[in-house]
Amino acid sequence: MTRTLHTRIPWWGRLESRVVAALVSLGILCVGASGYLAQLTVRYFDTRLSVAWDRGERVVDAGQPLYAALVAAQKRAYLARTQALALELAAVADHDESHVRVVLQAAIAREQDVASITAHVPSRAPMSITADREAQAHAMLLSQSATGARIGRPELYVVVEFLIDTTIDSKYQTLGHLQREIRSERQMQANLDRAIFRVIGLASALVLSISCVIGFLLARTTTRKAGRLSAVIGRVAAGDLGARASELGNDELGQLASAFNHMLDELDTAQRKLAYLQRIGAWQEMARRIAHEIKNPLTPIQLAVQQLRDKDPGTSAEFSRLLTASAEIVEDEVEALRRMVTSFSRFAKVPEVVLEPVDLSSLLDEFARAYGHLTEREQDTLELVLPSQQTTILGDRQLLKQVLVNLVENAVLSAREAAVGSVHVRLSTRDRATSIEIVVEDNGPGIAADRLDSIFEPYETTREHGTGLGLAIVKKIVLDHGGEVHVEHSELGGARFVIELKRVANRPNASS
């Protein structure tokens, strides 16, 4: 037979490692997707910008030759105009200087873009005419000259300075600026791309680091809670039913811990009920046997005593008194044994509970009518406080009455033995969310604090002549109803017995 060995990474079996790995993997996936999308976005915009910059450079490159051609054509035009002026001066070169100056002034007045004209006429000093125009402040000068060589008079030489609009040069300079800006933007974009990828890398590393830290902290918090809960479960599995999980917050683990604690509480309550019922069952069996064994000889003993008393010959008065006194003592003890047997039999034969809907107010009212007198003394009173709203419970009417009878009788007898002047017993109810409490309290001596937990045990009694079975019967009947009973101190001065039973009908609204 072939056996397959599965190798498992040691740390992978821990929940903490899995949570951290899951968060880190999720972080890597998110960062990778974000980085990929950012890269696609950067490439897309780089492509679009590169196309735009290429078009801009082509436009600039196409504009530069046009500007050069425009400047060359302008220079040729200026040269032709200068030559025309030289020809005009050559025609009056032989006249006097004033005539030449008039020609120069007329030319500069006619040509609006001429700044100055300097004429070198043979046998004369150079004559210069300057135009007084405001436009010179917003223009640049371009000198053009023409000589007489082109007109057959080498000795004639003319220099003309033209005004050129600066907007043309500024537009050319703008083309240069645009070209430099495009190249600078290309370089800036390359630097920006590198910066973007560096930032994405740093952000990715930061996100992954934060994911690892948060994942570790979250996993540690979660695993610690799970570890504490697991430790409590281990203690419970080892038999420590008193172990409880600590408060773990409001998350799912906290809710699980609360539910686990509630389950342990319910289990503890069920076990205590089961243990009590088992003890009661054992005591009932023993009480049944004791009652059977004691009941059989009681009748022969009583008959024998009666026969002895009837057979008294009467010859001796002293003997007759002794016989009568002894017979009365035996009969009293037999009667006491009969009452004990009756108590044992009643305890051993508690009827089985038959649950049915019972109106609590009706039940308490019936009990008050039957036992409202409480005792033969008028100063002993039973105070009845009925529920303010109609309440229905599931119960056995007769057995619940027996519970109330036992509690009230126990209160009366305890108060009597404590020599309380007037016995006061109060029977009331208290509403709870899903249950109703029946409260029986008195002004008797109460119960010592160290006996509150054992008062319901069989044959445990605080009265001198009590059998200790009445309260045991009360608790068994209440447990058979699925309820709870406990005892506490009363504001009346005595004991307060509280019976909690589940309600089966919601209390109607006060307005209905």
Residue 222 has pLDDT above 80, yes or no: no
Torsion from C-alpha of 440, 468, 362, 480, nearest 10 degrees: 110
Q: Where are the beta strands (DSSP E) in 99-230?
A: 114-120, 127-130, 139-147, 157-165
Cα–Cα dist 470/409, whole Å:
9
d(CA 410, CA 403): 11
Predicted confidence at residue 269, as pLDDT, reads: 77
pLDDT digits (tens, 9 = 90+) for 457-491: 776 666 655 566 778 888 888 888 888 889 999 88
Question: Long-range CB contacts (< 8 A, 24+ apart) of 330-336?
Answer: 330/301, 330/302, 330/305, 331/302, 331/305, 334/298, 334/301, 334/302, 334/305
How high is the pLDDT of residue 284? 64
Residue 395 tokens, joined: 């119960």
Amino acid at 436: I
pLDDT tens digits, one per residue of 57-116: 777 777 777 777 877 888 888 888 888 888 887 777 777 778 888 888 888 888 877 888
Q: For residues 478-505, give the mean pLDDT.
A: 87
Start-end of H helices in 92-111: 97-110
Mean pLDDT on 154-182: 74
| Structure token digits, residue 331 | 């009969």
Would you state the pLDDT for residue 498? 93
Mean pLDDT of 327-336: 78
**Residue 307 reports pLDDT greater than 60:** yes
Euclidean distance between the first and final Cα of the chain, in Å? 78
Query: What pLDDT is attached to residue 152?
Result: 46
* Mean pLDDT value across the chain: 76
**How much of the chain exceeds pLDDT 90, in percent?**
2
Distances (CA, A) of 55 to 64, 171, 181: 15, 18, 14
More confident residue, 278 or 158: 158
Amino acid letter, 298: L
Chain mean position to CA 254: 11
pLDDT of the residue at 133: 60
Torsion sign, CA atoms 344, 349, 352, 358: negative
Q: Which range is most confident: 123-132, 189-198, 428-437, 465-474?
A: 428-437
Report for 331-340, 446-455, 461-470: range of highest mean pLDDT: 446-455
Provide the pLDDT for residue 188. 77
Sign for the CA dihedral angle at 230, 234, 235, 240 comes to positive
What pLDDT digit, counting tens, does each position of 206-218 carry? 877 887 777 777 7
- Angle, vertex CA 334, rays to CA 330 and CA 337, nearest 5: 140
At residue 512, the pLDDT reads 37
Please say if the pLDDT value at position 48 is more than 70: yes
Give the per-residue pLDDT at 2: 46
- The whole-number average pLDDT for the span 114-130 is 80
The two structure tokens encoding residue 427: 């029977």
> Could you report the per-residue pLDDT of 252-265, keeping only the tens digit for each?
777 777 887 888 87
Percentage, residues of the chain above pLDDT 70: 80
**Rounded mean pLDDT, 224-246:** 77
pLDDT at position 8 over 70: no
Q: How confident is the model at residue 511 (pLDDT cuts 50, 70, 90)?
A: very low
pLDDT value of position 376: 76
Nearby residues of 124 by Cβ (< 8 Å), 6 or more positions away: 97, 100
CA atoms of 470 and 459, how far apart (whole Å): 9
pLDDT for 282: 66
- Long-range CB pairs of 42-49 (<8 Å, 24+ gap) are 42/193, 42/196, 42/197, 46/189, 46/193, 49/185, 49/189
Mean pLDDT over residues 206-234, rounded?
76
The pLDDT of residue 272 is 77
CB of 463 within 8 A of CB of 414?
Answer: yes
Q: Is the confidence at residue 6, as pLDDT, over 50?
A: no
Distance CA 195, CA 390 (A): 79
Tokens of 105: 């002034």
**Per-residue pLDDT, 168:** 67
The b/e string for 342-351 (b: 16+ C-beta within 10 A; e otherwise) is: ebbebbbebe
pLDDT attached to residue 68: 77
